[in-house]
Amino acid sequence: MALEGLSEQRRAVDGPTALDESPVPASSSGSRHPFGNESADGVNRATQAKPRFRLLDGLRIFAALAVVLYHFTARENPYWGRPVVDVFPDFAPVAAFGALGVQLFFIISGFVILMSATGRSIGDYVASRAGRLLPGYWAGVLLTGGLLLVVWPEGADISITQVLANLTMLQTPLGVQHVDGVYWTLWVELKFYVLIGVFMMLGITKLRILTVSILWPVVAAIAEAAENNLLSEILMPDYAPLFAGGMLLFVLLENRRNFVCWFGILINVALAAQQTQTGQFRRMEEITGLSFPSVACWIVVAGCFAVVAAATLTRLSRLSWAGLSFAGALTYPLYLIHEYFGWWIIHLIQDALPPGITLFLATSVCFGLAWAIWKYIETPLGPLIRRNVSSGISSLAPRQAASLSAGGDESNRDG
């Protein structure tokens, strides 16, 4: 549910999104204090770049691969010609937990999107998000739409209108079905981005982050219990504690002995495990036809928080293997493109080849497509979109200022 690059100095993992970006590089000074130069408006004005957490890229590709294996070897589908649990009787119960890979994505998003927003203007933030999300997403929608409309219409029943609506990334509020079911996480990520945008306009401070990260998931859970659908849609009770926990891990970069922060993380771990158990974990059981003890859900969710903490707060954060950044760059396109293309390959060759080889070939094709999207679409178009959006936003500011000035002059003349 990733979520949110290699060449840009300011990039951070994020979104499926954690799905869409790589961690930003470390400063030459090695400073790890995100609020060390906090100004009066609450925004960190440090000029040095933020730390690069390459291991987060490794976690992202691990989560994406877990989702891929869940879809191919555990989620019930007709493309193997027989029940998936019969094809992979020993592996399916393990692969089923790949459904919770989105939980890991959202925790990473909470950490890195907040990190990438500090010390940045709202215009730069919006431009960065657009440049990172849109090229790969548009490619995924068009390629999957083309596959299902032209090459393999029996794969799923979709329409051209549906594809066009999906290109806006707003199909959920428009009431249009996803071209590919994995897109549901992007709407969740977009709502979180808006929250961070509000933070930026108000000023990012430790107190505000601590307050919101503790109260937001609690209020969201109360709204859900009260059956307030509108408030639940806005506050996202199923995923709020995941994002909030990631945000608190970011605050801990400055002071790992911040006991209020650790207390907030414990609250969010408990809420996240409970919400996952009653929500996505149960849906996972229904979709796979398998059953698991509830404690397994709690262990996996707590483990997701633990590995992100280890990757950012311990010596593991200094791991500097460049190959992880390349792997992280493939996460977002792999997540977007894998489901129907993988099922299509499985459908074509499962009768002729053993399941293991079929799975390997289907997964390899998906990785190849992900690489092509990153290389030929995201890499050239991302910076172009980012520059154009940034330029457009910048041009609006002088116009608004001129409009306000003209209005003031007119008012003075009237007076």
Per-residue pLDDT of the chain (415 residues; tens, 9 = 90+): 443 332 333 333 333 455 655 444 333 333 444 554 444 334 344 434 556 799 999 999 999 999 999 999 999 999 999 999 999 999 999 999 999 999 999 999 999 999 999 888 999 999 999 999 999 999 999 999 999 999 999 999 999 999 999 999 999 999 999 999 999 999 999 999 999 999 899 999 999 999 999 999 999 999 999 999 999 999 999 999 999 999 999 999 999 999 999 999 999 999 999 999 999 999 999 999 999 999 999 999 999 999 999 999 999 998 888 899 999 999 999 999 999 999 999 999 999 999 999 999 999 999 999 999 999 999 999 999 999 999 998 887 665 544 544 444 444 444 4
Residue 367: name the closest of 337, 345, 344, 340 by CA: 337
Give the whole-angstrom CA distance, residue 331 versus residue 316.
21
Residue 79: name the closest of 306, 275, 285, 350 by CA: 350
User: Rounded to two decimals, what is the model's pTM?
Assistant: 0.86
Count other Cβ atoms within 10 Å, centred on residue 319. Answer: 15
Beta bridge partners of 21: 14
Residue 118: name the closest of 48, 224, 204 by CA: 204
Residue type, 382: G
